[in-house]
């Protein structure tokens, strides 16, 4: 071997070694080094080069060892048995970690539990539901391991009183029942494990079918007979028609402890509140992403309409992922923190219209309308993920109940939240057939 080495010759040597960290690195210049025992070379540079060469040899030796080659024997023959090969041996495994204790500082400001609200009524309470659900009762923000959540999160799945336009990946799950709300309700409960059913009476909208309130109320009766879970009764969103529709629906559902959706500041909330108190239901207090408006409506429901505290659930409005979810999260989190710190006008369970996630174009469009945009991936998966992320984010903000549509989204969100809660009550169904591949 020559005792002389040109610096530029190191390029070919390092290239042959195929060291990943040196990929693309070249050494420029052309000076000649005397490498015989480091003679004539700057001692610091000689040491540095020797160190790097040793590190490369160690990595190569370890790779050979993993491939089964008797590297240690080879080095023992070359260096002589002894301490010289000790550096090539693997570090001993750690058998036990150091013991330590982690204490959580409790917030002295969180001294007010969230109001509990029970939905549904069994035969013992004068209703016909198979069970009830209870929302609220928390004494801290959700899923704190040192703060018990007395009641888990619940999902109510959407059912409509007429066929509506839906994203393809959602519609494929309901095409066989969209013409029959009662059968639709059965499917979401029996096949998709819904905790509750929300029946939306959208056909009552004067701009759609203008179905009479009395006729729409028969749909509510059909759903109550079809399933035995608690229900939510929603109108069409028309502020002039909804109070009448909810009054008739409340009447036929008397004693079932339904949730009337909803009372808001832009309609006659007094009529909705009176229907709830007259027929034994709870009220969904709906505002639009504004904490002060939520306080105002809750205050009016309690003091002006005499709605009991245990009959109010809030809906502060859900904005979908990419369309204001951060604002919706902040609003719900502020509401929950204020409630825990004693604000009795906000101290109620919250509901999320998580279905709003399907209003985001990214959840249902086949691909981006922008040619220069990246690939969005299959919408059959993207849509449910959009709904899951929207719901899960708001669960972390303190939301108690989720109105949802896609069965995969429902199952995933329930499994995550119940795992965090510490209890998975039902066996996980096979969801592979719930996502229909598009040809």
**Distant-in-sequence, close-in-space partners of 90: CB < 8 Å, separation ≥ 6:** none
Q: How far is CA 222 from the centre of its chain?
A: 32
The DSSP 8-state label assigned to residue 36 in this structure reads G
Beta bridge partners of 263: 285
**Bond before 262 cis per omega within 30 degrees:** yes
**Distant-in-sequence, close-in-space partners of 26: CB < 8 Å, separation ≥ 6:** 11
Task: Report the DSSP pairing between strands 117-119 and 231-234.
Answer: unpaired
The DSSP 8-state label assigned to residue 207 in this structure reads T
Give the pLDDT of residue 180.
Answer: 97
Give me the domains of the chain, ranges plus CATH numbers: 5-69 (no CATH), 117-421 (3.20.20.20)
- The angle, 0 to 180 degrees and rounded to 10, between the axes of the packed helices 325-340 and 379-397 is 20
- pLDDT values of the chain reduced to their tens digit, one per residue, 439 residues: 455 556 566 666 656 655 555 566 565 655 555 555 555 566 777 777 777 778 777 777 777 777 777 877 777 776 655 444 444 455 566 677 778 777 766 778 899 999 999 999 999 999 999 999 999 999 999 998 778 889 999 999 999 999 999 988 899 999 999 999 999 999 999 999 999 999 999 999 999 999 999 999 999 999 999 999 999 999 999 999 999 999 999 999 999 999 999 999 999 999 999 999 999 999 999 999 999 999 999 999 999 999 999 999 999 999 988 889 999 999 999 999 999 999 999 999 999 999 999 888 888 777 777 877 888 887 788 889 999 999 999 999 999 999 999 999 999 999 999 999 887 554 444 545 545 444 3
Which contiguous run of DSSP H or E holds residue 283?
strand 282-286
How much is the pTM?
0.74
Other Cβ atoms within 10 Å of 98 Cβ, number? 5
**Contact predicate 71/61, CB 8 Å:** yes
Name which of 98, 121, 350, 312 is nearest 229 in CA terms: 121
Residue in this structure with the two tokens 């899951």, named with its chain if needed: 388
**Distant-in-sequence, close-in-space partners of 342: CB < 8 Å, separation ≥ 6:** 111, 112
Task: Report the DSSP pairing between strands 401-404 and 351-352.
Answer: parallel
**Contact predicate 161/216, CB 8 Å:** yes
Name which of 318, 324, 316, 323 is nearest 296 in CA terms: 316
* Spatial separation of the C-alpha atoms in residues 142 and 110, rounded to whole Å: 13
């Amino acid at each position: 071997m020559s005792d002389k080495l040109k610096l530029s010759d190191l390029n070919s040597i390092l290239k042959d070694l195929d060291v990943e960290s040196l990929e693309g690195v070249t050494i420029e210049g052309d000076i000649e080094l005397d490498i015989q025992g480091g003679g004539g070379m700057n001692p610091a540079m000689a040491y540095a080069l020797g160190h790097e060469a040793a590190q490369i040899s160690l990595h190569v030796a370890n790779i050979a060892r993993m491939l089964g080659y008797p590297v240690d024997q080879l080095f023992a023959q070359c260096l002589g048995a002894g301490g010289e090969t000790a550096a090539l041996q693997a570090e001993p495994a750690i058998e036990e970690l150091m013991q330590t204790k982690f204490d959580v500082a409790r917030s002295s400001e969180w001294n007010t539990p969230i109001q509990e609200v029970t939905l549904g009524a069994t035969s013992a309470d004068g209703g016909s539901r198979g069970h009830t659900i209870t929302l609220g009762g928390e004494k801290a923000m959700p899923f704190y391991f040192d703060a018990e959540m007395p009641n888990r999160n619940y999902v109510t799945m959407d059912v409509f009183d007429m066929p509506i336009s839906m994203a393809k990946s959602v519609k494929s799950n309901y095409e066989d029942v969209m013409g029959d709300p009662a059968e639709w309700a059965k499917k979401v409960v029996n096949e998709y494990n819904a905790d509750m059913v929300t029946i939306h009476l959208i056909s009552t909208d004067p701009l759609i079918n203008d179905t009479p309130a009395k006729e729409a109320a028969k749909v509510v009766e059909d759903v109550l007979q079809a399933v035995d879970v608690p229900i939510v009764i929603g109108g069409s969103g028309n502020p002039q028609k909804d109070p009448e529709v909810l009054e008739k629906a409340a009447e036929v559902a008397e004693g079932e402890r339904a949730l009337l959706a909803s009372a808001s500041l832009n309609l006659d909330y007094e009529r909705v509140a009176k229907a709830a108190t007259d027929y034994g239901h709870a009220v969904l207090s709906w505002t639009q992403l504004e904490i002060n408006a939520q306080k105002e409506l809750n205050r009016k429901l309690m003091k002006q309409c005499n709605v009991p505290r245990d009959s109010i659930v809030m809906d502060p409005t859900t904005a979908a992922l990419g369309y204001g979810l951060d604002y919706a999260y902040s609003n719900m989190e502020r509401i929950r923190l204020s409630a825990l710190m004693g604000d009795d006008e906000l101290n109620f369970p919250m509901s999320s219209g998580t279905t709003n996630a399907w209003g985001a174009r990214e959840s249902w469009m086949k691909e981006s309308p922008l040619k220069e945009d990246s690939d969005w991936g299959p919408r059959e998966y993207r849509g449910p993920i959009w709904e899951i992320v929207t719901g899960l984010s708001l669960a972390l903000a303190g939301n108690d109940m989720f109105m949802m549509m896609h069965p995969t989204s429902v199952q995933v969100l329930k499994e995550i939240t119940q795992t965090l809660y510490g209890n998975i009550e039902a066996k996980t169904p096979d969801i592979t057939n719930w996502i229909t591949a598009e040809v």
